[in-house]
């Protein structure tokens, strides 16, 4: 468990190596720096899930399905 395990931001968070420097998609870039292909795939799938969830919430009202 790394020092930033309590930081749950997916898109923008402090760097693992420099707490004063923020980076985009920190979990993905940390996995790339670790050269761990399994963790890279896992982190990309997590970020993809959250981005798709945000897209579905932010869709225009006429595109949201109703149950009527």
Is 58 contained in some domain?
yes
Domain that holds residue 32: 12-63
Give the total number of structural domains in the chain: 1
Is 3 contained in some domain?
no
Looking at 10-14, 25-29, 33-37, which range is the least confident one?
Answer: 10-14
Looking at 18-27, 37-46, 49-58, which range is the least confident one?
Answer: 18-27
Looking at 8-12, 26-30, 37-41, 51-55, which range is the least confident one?
Answer: 8-12
Q: How far apart are CA 63 and CA 43, in angstroms?
A: 29
pTM of the predicted structure, to 2 decimals:
0.67
Is 16 contained in some domain?
yes
Is 2 contained in some domain?
no
14 - beta bridge partners? 22
Radius of gyration of the chain measured on its C-alpha atoms = 16
Q: How far apart are CA 59 and CA 68, in angstroms?
A: 19
CB 28 within 8 A of CB 43: yes
Is 39 contained in some domain?
yes
- Total count of residues recorded for the chain: 68
């Amino acid at each position: 468990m790394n020092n930033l395990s309590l930081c749950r931001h997916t898109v923008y968070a402090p760097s693992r190596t420099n707490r004063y420097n923020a980076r985009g998609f920190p979990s993905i870039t940390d996995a790339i720096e670790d050269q761990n292909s399994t963790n890279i795939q896992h982190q990309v799938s997590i970020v993809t899930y959250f981005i798709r969830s945000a897209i579905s919430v932010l869709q225009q009202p006429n595109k949201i399905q109703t149950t009527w």
